[in-house]
Amino acid sequence: MKKIEKKNTGLLVTSSTISKVGDVLFDYVNNSFLASMNVKSMVLVGIYQSTENIIGALFNLFGGVIADRFRRKKIIILTDFLSGLICLILSFITQQTWLMYAVILTNALLALLSAFSTPAYNAFTKEIVEKEQITLVNSYLQTVATLVKIIVPMLALGIYHVIGINGALILDGLSF
């Protein structure tokens, strides 16, 4: 692997890891927050999760097409910027009832943005490394993603208990 490819691979893996940490943190903190509201709030957890899946299923079809037709780097930068901004704005809502519904709406917006950024991230790999190295880079990305899915949920609950929902949302906004 060439020196520039190593640098680009490191940046891609680091960027992807930070983004995935933010995604997992967002989901676990918000699920914990919604579940802790009251007995009926488990319905909100179901709505939270199903909206994300429905939006992902509908818009992932278009995300790949847009990633192929437009500049991937700009798509990634724009979607990450908007995602971070949305999370930071959400962190300023202090009234819990409003926050419950805003969390669900924000999750839907982030799922929409993710439908465009994920295909752009995936397609971007072939632009920064030689064809022979794509398998290696993808294995790095998958390994790190798996580690994040194992480690971050435990950390997310601790973060939620220490800095609360608003602090976790600020941290999440900064992760984008």
Q: Specify whether the CB–CB gap between 145 and 20 falls below 8 A.
A: yes
Q: pLDDT value at position 50? A: 93
For residues 2 and 174, which has the higher predicted lDDT (pLDDT)? 174
pLDDT tens, residue by residue, 12-54? 888 888 888 888 888 989 988 988 887 777 888 889 999 999 9
Distance, CA of 160 to CA of 33 (rounded, Å): 8
pLDDT tens, residue by residue, 72-126? 888 888 998 999 999 999 999 999 889 999 999 999 999 999 898 888 877 777 7
Instruction: Write out the residue range of the structural domain in which residue 113 sits.
Output: 3-175
pTM score? 0.84
Q: pLDDT value at position 88? A: 94
Number of domains, the chain: 1
pLDDT tens, residue by residue, 61-84? 888 888 878 888 888 889 989 999
The CATH number of the domain where 145 resides is what? 1.20.1250.20
Q: pLDDT value at position 37? A: 82
pLDDT band for 1, please (50, 70, 90 cuts).
Answer: low
Distance, CA of 141 to CA of 9 (rounded, Å): 9
Q: What is the dihedral of CA 131, 137, 142, 144, to 10 degrees?
A: -170
Distance, CA of 135 to CA of 16 (rounded, Å): 16
